[in-house]
Amino acid sequence: MPRITFSPFEKTIDIDGSRNILQLAREAGIPLQSTCGGKKICGKCKVVIKKTDGPLPPSSAREQKVLGGYSEKGYRLACETVLSHGAVIRIPEESRLKPQVILTSDTEHSYPVRLRPNVSPHYVEVSPPVLDSVIADRQRLLIALEKTYGIRRPALDPFVLRKLPHTLRSDREGVTVAIRSKDEIIDLYPGRRDSLFGVAFDVGTTTVVAFLMDLITGDRLSVKSAMNPQIAIGDDVITRIAFCRENTGGLEKLRISIVECLNALIAEAAAEAGIDPDEIVEATVVGNTAMHHLFVGLDPHYLPMAPYPPVLQESQDYKARDLGLNIGASAYVHLLPLKAGFVGSDIIACILATGLHRSKIPTLLIDLGTNGEIVFGNKNRMLCCSTAAGPAFEGGHIRWGMRASSGAIERLKIDQEMLDVRWETIYDQRPSGLCGSGIISAIAEMIRAGIILGRGNFDKGLQTPRLRDGEDGPEFVLVWASEAATKQDIVITQKDVAAMQMAKAAVNAGATLLMEQFEGEEVERILLAGAFGNYVDPEDACTIDLFPGCLTAKVVGVGNAAGHGSCLALLDKNKRKEAERLAQKIEYRELAATTRFKELFVSSMFFTSARDFEDVF
Ligand code: FES
């Protein structure tokens, strides 16, 4: 059977002419980018076929268009090319999927924790069995609990019952009973025990973070993170939902992949804390609506179809074992409530964590990823929406865009006279491309230096070799090939600027539309949640008009607020009720349905800080 080898990974796989190179790379575990999920749009899956035992299939016009000038250099799209002969395929540096920097921390802007866990320890001394009257182990335990704490007849599932005889007869005095909501026994321990453990998850489209917590002290024992393995199917939720729709067993495949990821994080975190995963008595999960549905195994089929209804909105409690999570056998997983098809429990958790719903100050909360979720309001009223910002903020559809991984330019400066460029990269590596904050920094600096004008066009009159005509029209060279890890010039193209204009206009218009509903209320505080919000320079964001209110409001990054919200719900059961109430209270606005959004979108496309803005507009 013919085989192909992926270089430089030296992994080989048999081929039968039925699968394209991207599918083969996924099977072989090759870290190949596929931002559009194989739809032949993004051009990120570029590979070079170095050696082949037979003729290559011809390159289609569409492939050549997506590849641009790379086509002449021998590049092919992995998602387009099907080989039936053996070959050696090189995965170039810029096409490799690298581990992303994952934001795990929150900030001082997060709401403090009050310890009221849903599962708490109860020490009891159970009377021993006696000869003259047979009272079962379970009954004696229940009698002791009622006598000591007034807790009446809590449930015990079979997994707890299996431990009961041995635990009651250990050589220690008494037993500690982990009781959930005063109505179910989750676990039993011989003797007196003061610590119980829980795990809080933030399941993002790109990254997943697990926080292992001591439920009694509130201590964070370990934090572990990983890339969401569903990225192998596609970067965005729409591609993954389409995968479920188009492939028999697709939903189950994605469900299993995220459950395995969570289990791996649980094992790592537990090992670091020196506990057994079986000792974890409760978990909480937040995520966007698609991630929620894929984790539970709910059909996401209708999420991308107007009016974008989720299968359910309320918070849910499931036995962890029913979802496949490897924690205590009787433990539960609590999933925080959802609001809409594109406003998930991650946003509810962000509100919980930042205390926006208790604040008097009119506050704008923005969580940017492939979708931009926006909340505006205060304790009296809150509105939310989701904007289809597209993947530009995560480097998608940007010629040299990449994830926030090693070698990504995260910030840069352009000398306003000489137009020389200085950059900072993640882990100080030679530049490989630009992550989201780097793209915003580049465009903001190009506006300040007068390279980009108010309409987003380049000032072609500038005398610098960095400004030139490329295959996608004008482009500005940020990094010369001799300085780049890719050995090619890293540029910002006119098309990149247009992609960012669309993305920022969607966010600005969405936020403005929400704010318009609060007549007379000026935004006083802008909270930027998530990794993007943490790393983007607020001044750069204001220079590109990413959101309204830059002149009046204080802009602050709030770190992984969704993760903090998940921890709050783990440590304080009252926060779960608060989350439920705020999810019901917050008003959702569907932007696609309004002409006002379209008007605002068009007027938000410009750069108001550009040198020529006053003259042209
Ligand atoms: S073009 Fe191949 S994955 Fe996007």
Q: How far, in Å, is the centroid of ligand 1 from the Cα of 104?
A: 29
Burial label, 329 (beta-carbon count in 10 A; 0-12, 13-18, 19+): middle
Query: Which ligand 1 atom is the nearest neighbour of the CA of 45?
Result: 2
Q: How far, in Å, is the centroid of ligand 1 from the Cα of 79?
A: 6
Residue 232 placed within a domain: no
Per-residue confidence (pLDDT) for residue 105, from 0 to 100: 65
Read off the pLDDT of residues 289-317 as tens digits, 9 standing for 90 and up. 999 999 999 999 999 888 889 999 999 99
User: Is pLDDT of 384 > 90?
Assistant: yes
Give yes or no: residues 461 and 529 share one domain.
no
Q: Which CATH number does the domain housing residue 35 bear?
A: 3.10.20.30
Decide whether any atom of ligand 1 lies within 6 Å of the 391 Cβ.
no
Q: How far, in Å, is the centroid of ligand 1 from the Cα of 234?
A: 9
Q: Which CATH number does the domain housing residue 514 bear?
A: 3.30.420
When pLDDT is averaged across residues 169-178 and rounded to a whole number, the result is 91
Decide whether any atom of ligand 1 lies within 6 Å of the 32 Cβ.
no
Q: Which residues contact 420 (CB under 8 A, 6 or more apart)?
A: 414
User: Is pLDDT of 524 > 70?
Assistant: yes
Please state whether the predicted TM-score (pTM) of the whole model is above 0.85: yes
Decide whether any atom of ligand 1 lies within 6 Å of the 188 Cβ.
no
Dist CA 399 CA 486 (whole Å): 13
Give yes or no: residues 123 and 176 share one domain.
yes
Please say whether the dihedral angle defined by the alpha carbons of residues 340, 342, 346 and 352, taken in this order, is positive or negative. Answer: negative
Residue 303 placed within a domain: no
Greatest alpha-carbon pair distance for the chain in Å reads 103
Q: How far, in Å, is the centroid of ligand 1 from the Cα of 76?
A: 10
Residue 278 placed within a domain: no
pLDDT, mean over the chain: 91
Decide whether any atom of ligand 1 lies within 6 Å of the 42 Cβ.
yes
Residue 52 placed within a domain: yes
Query: Which ligand 1 atom is the nearest neighbour of the CA of 34?
Result: 3
- Of 190, 224, 243, the one marking the end of a domain is 190
Decide whether any atom of ligand 1 lies within 6 Å of the 292 Cβ.
no
User: Residue 284 belongs to what H/E stretch?
Assistant: strand 280-287
Dist CA 170 CA 165 (whole Å): 9
User: Is pLDDT of 109 > 60?
Assistant: no
Phi, psi angles (nearest 5°) of residue 230: -65, -10
- Token pair, residue 560, equals 């992984």
Query: Which ligand 1 atom is the nearest neighbour of the CA of 40?
Result: 1
More confident residue, 91 or 104: 91
Q: Given the DSSP bridges, would you call strands 467-470 and 473-479 parallel, antiparallel or unpaired?
A: antiparallel
Give yes or no: residues 383 and 483 share one domain.
no
Q: How far, in Å, is the centroid of ligand 1 from the Cα of 46?
A: 8
Query: Which ligand 1 atom is the nearest neighbour of the CA of 33?
Result: 3
Query: Which ligand 1 atom is the nearest neighbour of the CA of 80?
Result: 2
User: Residue 100 belongs to what H/E stretch?
Assistant: none
Residue 436 placed within a domain: yes
Q: Which residues contact 163 (CB under 8 A, 6 or more apart)?
A: 187, 188
- Of 190, 211, 245, the one marking the end of a domain is 190
Give yes or no: residues 481 and 549 share one domain.
no
Q: Among 23, 40, 75, which is best to mutate for testing ligand 1, by the most ligand atoms less than 8 A from CB?
A: 40
Decide whether any atom of ligand 1 lies within 6 Å of the 43 Cβ.
yes
Q: Which of 103-117, 380-394, 527-541 has the lowest mean pLDDT?
A: 103-117
Phi, psi angles (nearest 5°) of residue 587: -95, 135
Closest CA to 432 of 183, 7, 188, 98: 98
When pLDDT is averaged across residues 53-69 and rounded to a whole number, the result is 87
Per-residue confidence (pLDDT) for residue 108, from 0 to 100: 55
Decide whether any atom of ligand 1 lies within 6 Å of the 351 Cβ.
no
- Token pair, residue 481, equals 């090939």
Please say whether the dihedral angle defined by the alpha carbons of residues 551, 553, 559 and 565, taken in this order, is positive or negative. Answer: negative
Read off the pLDDT of residues 266-295 as tens digits, 9 standing for 90 and up. 999 999 999 999 999 999 999 999 999 999
User: Is pLDDT of 340 > 70?
Assistant: yes
Q: How far, in Å, is the centroid of ligand 1 from the Cα of 395?
A: 14
Decide whether any atom of ligand 1 lies within 6 Å of the 510 Cβ.
no
Decide whether any atom of ligand 1 lies within 6 Å of the 336 Cβ.
no
Give yes or no: residues 84 and 130 share one domain.
no
Q: Which CATH number does the domain housing residue 176 bear?
A: 3.10.20.880
Give yes or no: residues 455 and 510 share one domain.
no
Query: Which ligand 1 atom is the nearest neighbour of the CA of 42?
Result: 4
Q: Which residues contact 131 (CB under 8 A, 6 or more apart)?
A: none
Give yes or no: residues 373 and 401 share one domain.
no
Number of domains in the chain: 4
Decide whether any atom of ligand 1 lies within 6 Å of the 38 Cβ.
yes
Decide whether any atom of ligand 1 lies within 6 Å of the 40 Cβ.
yes
Give yes or no: residues 496 and 508 share one domain.
no
Give yes or no: residues 75 and 9 share one domain.
yes
Query: Which ligand 1 atom is the nearest neighbour of the CA of 77?
Result: 2
398 and 499 in contact (C-beta within 8 Å)? yes
Query: Which ligand 1 atom is the nearest neighbour of the CA of 43?
Result: 1
Under DSSP, is residue 536 helix (H, G, I), strand (E, B) or coil? Answer: coil
3-state secondary structure 376-427: EECCCCEEEEEECCCHHHHCCCCCCECCCECCEEEEEEECCCCCCEEEEEHH
| Edge-to-edge strands, sheet with 421-425 | 421-425, 408-414, 433-434
Read off the pLDDT of residues 576-592 as tens digits, 9 standing for 90 and up. 999 999 999 999 998 87
Read off the pLDDT of residues 419-470 as tens digits, 9 standing for 90 and up. 999 999 998 999 999 998 999 999 999 999 999 999 999 999 999 999 999 8
Give yes or no: residues 516 and 496 share one domain.
no
Decide whether any atom of ligand 1 lies within 6 Å of the 87 Cβ.
no
Closest CA to 202 of 257, 262, 156: 262
Q: Among 41, 243, 397, which is best to mutate for testing ligand 1, by the most ligand atoms less than 8 A from CB?
A: 41
Give yes or no: residues 520 and 481 share one domain.
no
Decide whether any atom of ligand 1 lies within 6 Å of the 26 Cβ.
no
Per-residue confidence (pLDDT) for residue 171, from 0 to 100: 78
In 456-594, where does DSSP find H-type helix?
494-516, 530-535, 538-543, 561-571, 573-585
What percentage of the chain has pLDDT greater than the value 70?
A: 97
* Phi-psi map region of 475: left, alpha, beta (phi>0 left; psi -120 to 50 alpha): beta
Decide whether any atom of ligand 1 lies within 6 Å of the 41 Cβ.
yes
Decide whether any atom of ligand 1 lies within 6 Å of the 68 Cβ.
no
One DSSP character per residue, 108-139 reads: TTSPPP--B-SEEEEEE-PPPP-SSS---HHH
Decide whether any atom of ligand 1 lies within 6 Å of the 396 Cβ.
no
Dist CA 529 CA 536 (whole Å): 11
More confident residue, 38 or 154: 154
Per-residue confidence (pLDDT) for residue 110, from 0 to 100: 59
Decide whether any atom of ligand 1 lies within 6 Å of the 35 Cβ.
yes
Per-residue confidence (pLDDT) for residue 81, from 0 to 100: 94
Decide whether any atom of ligand 1 lies within 6 Å of the 44 Cβ.
yes
Residue 587 placed within a domain: yes
Residue 361 placed within a domain: yes
Decide whether any atom of ligand 1 lies within 6 Å of the 234 Cβ.
no
Per-residue confidence (pLDDT) for residue 404, from 0 to 100: 85
Per-residue confidence (pLDDT) for residue 617, from 0 to 100: 64
Residue 460 placed within a domain: yes
- Token pair, residue 96, equals 């490799």
- For residue 538, the enclosing domain spans 355-389+503-603
Decide whether any atom of ligand 1 lies within 6 Å of the 492 Cβ.
no
Q: Which residues contact 347 (CB under 8 A, 6 or more apart)?
A: 339, 365, 367, 373, 375, 384, 562
Give yes or no: residues 472 and 518 share one domain.
no
- Of 190, 215, 236, the one marking the end of a domain is 190
Q: Predicted confidence band at 104 (pLDDT cuts at 50, 70, 90)?
A: low
Decide whether any atom of ligand 1 lies within 6 Å of the 232 Cβ.
no
Dist CA 568 CA 571 (whole Å): 5
Q: Among 20, 39, 394, which is best to mutate for testing ligand 1, by the most ligand atoms less than 8 A from CB?
A: 39
Closest CA to 1 of 79, 53, 55, 76: 53
Decide whether any atom of ligand 1 lies within 6 Å of the 34 Cβ.
yes
Decide whether any atom of ligand 1 lies within 6 Å of the 36 Cβ.
yes
